[in-house]
Structure 1
Amino acid sequence: MNKYLVPASLILLTTVAVPAIANNGVNVQALKACSMIENDFRRLLCYDNVVAGEPIDAQRQKSKGEGKGKNKEKNLPEQAAPRASAATAAEHKADDFGLEHKQIEENSADELVAKVTKVKEAPYGELIITLDNGQVWRQQGAESFILKSGDTVVISRAMFNSFLLKKQGLNKSIRVKRTD
């Protein structure tokens, strides 16, 4: 009798468990509706909302609810100042995201002309250059570049917020990084 009891209980458990696993509360029609969305990010949000059991447009409802919550916060004088200042700071950071380098470029010159006061060599052959204005620049890479104290150099902006140093009157340049 025991040898029939174990297989029978397994068969009974699988017939009960399989439909429960297959129907785990996911709305198949909502999944099909999500598959029609062309924007990848919104489609992913839709799938996440369906699996979480939220309405498909839950993200929009949350953002509308947050807007209402902000108005309520403004009515509370004690909590309004810290939260409002944090919110405006976050919005300001979001507005400036990706523009940091452009603002720096607008405020600064495209090139710097200075005299070399001291040239040292780092252990791997890179040059460490001190200028007459007190700035210290370090060569990136170990290309050969002859530089002496008293030489006039031009440091100009290059792509991706990098800098090129060249002797005035020569064409050869090296990539440098400001260290001080």
Structure 2
Amino acid sequence: MKKQILSLLVILSAPAFSAQSDINTQALKACSFIENDFNRLLCYDNTMAGKSLTKPTVTQKLTAPSTSTSTPAVAVVDAPKDDFGLEHKQDKKNKESEIKATITSVEKALYGELIITLNNNQKWRQIGSDSIRLKASDAVTITRGVFNSFLLSKDGQNRSIRVKRTK
């Protein structure tokens, strides 16, 4: 008797599982049309968790594919547009990539770092433990490195030290 009731429940619930499967398949197909990687992953996660496709901070547009009329509308999620993380690239256009100057004085700091004063009244302090021999009246070039660092090199030499501007 119990086996018959159990098999009857399985037979009756099969169409419900099939309908749920079709809804998930359509939602997953809709997620595949999202171009932004993060939003596409968010759509897949929400679909598998049974949540809706929309978030309060994300806008949603419905577009129908133009190839056939039998396919359902596709949800395309657009992320908010902001320039987070691109500030340094915008400022880079206006910044010089190097300066050339002459040393007016060289001093040693407490732990042996060099403090270099240039003829344009800029002061630069050595960072790190690299060594270079500098004296007053040497011509130097300061170039931009990666991650907003600066490299000071003596003209005519292939050696440089990392520096930061203090004044």
Check conservation: 1:118, 1:149, Cα contact below 8 A: yes
Displaced runs of 4 or more, over 4 A: 32-41, 48-51
What's the RMSD between the two structures over aligned residues?
Answer: 3.5
Which residue number in structure 2 is paired with residue 171 of structure 1?
Answer: 158
Check conservation: 1:49, 1:58, Cα contact below 8 A: no
Larger relative contact order (C-alpha < 8 A, sep ≥ 6)? 2
The runs of 5 or more residues in structure 2 that have no matched partner are 1-19, 62-79
Taking the aligned partners of 2:95 and 2:41, their CA distance within structure 1 comes to: 43
Overall identity of the aligned pairs, in %: 44
Taking the aligned partners of 1:61 and 1:122, their CA distance within structure 2 comes to: 52
1:157 positional shift: 1.8
Partner of 2:59, secondary structure, is helix
1:155 positional shift: 0.7
1:59 partner amino acid: K
Check conservation: 2:152, 2:163, Cα contact below 8 A: yes
Classify 1:121/1:49 alpha carbon distance in 2 versus 1 (closer, same or farther; 3 Å). farther
The runs of 5 or more residues in structure 1 that have no matched partner are 1-27, 66-89
Q: TM-score, normalising length from structure 2?
A: 0.56
Q: Which has the higher strand share?
A: 2
Which residue number in structure 2 is paired with residue 128 of structure 1?
Answer: 115
1:109 positional shift: 2.2
Which residue number in structure 2 is paired with residue 63 of structure 1?
Answer: 59
Taking the aligned partners of 1:163 and 1:41, their CA distance within structure 2 comes to: 38
